[in-house]
Amino acid sequence: MSHKTVDCKIEVAEPFGVFANAFRLSSDGAEVLLDFCLYSEENNEAKVISRVRISSGFLSTIHLKISEAFKKPGKTTGKLYVFPEIKGIN
C-alpha cells in the first residue's frame, strides 16, 4: 500500500500520552487491532489503555516508519511485554 505524507495541524487530546508497557495484535483478516496495554507483572494482569483499529493494508507502512525510527540513536529503558496474537476481534 502506498502512503502519502501530509503536513497538517494535529490536535492531541493527551499531550503526554498514556504509558503502555505491553501490546498485542488482533486480526480478523481485513482489519487489525493494535492494543496498547499496561501490564502488572506482580498481578499477572493487563489492561488495554488504548485500542486502534486499522486496515491490514496499513501494516507495511507502519512497519516501515517504526523501522526508520529505530535507526535513530536512542536509549531503551524498562521492559516491554508482548502478548500472543489472537485471531478474531474481541
Domain that holds residue 59: 22-74
pLDDT value at position 89?
A: 58
In this prediction, residue 52 carries a pLDDT of 92
Cα torsion through 49, 55, 60, 64, rounded to 10: -50
In a domain, 68, yes or no: yes
pLDDT given for residue 28 in this prediction: 80
Asked if residue 5 belongs to a domain, the reply is: no
Name the pTM for this structure: 0.68
Query: What's the domain count of the chain?
Result: 1
**Tell me, what's the pLDDT at 54?**
92
3-state secondary structure of 48: strand
Residue 29 belongs to some domain of the structure: yes
pLDDT at 70: 80
The whole-number mean pLDDT for each consecutive block of 10 residues of the chain, a chain of 90 residues, reads: 81 84 88 93 94 90 86 73 72
Whether 87 maps to a domain, the answer reads no
Neighbours of 50 (CB within 10 A): 14
The answer as to whether 4 is a domain residue is no
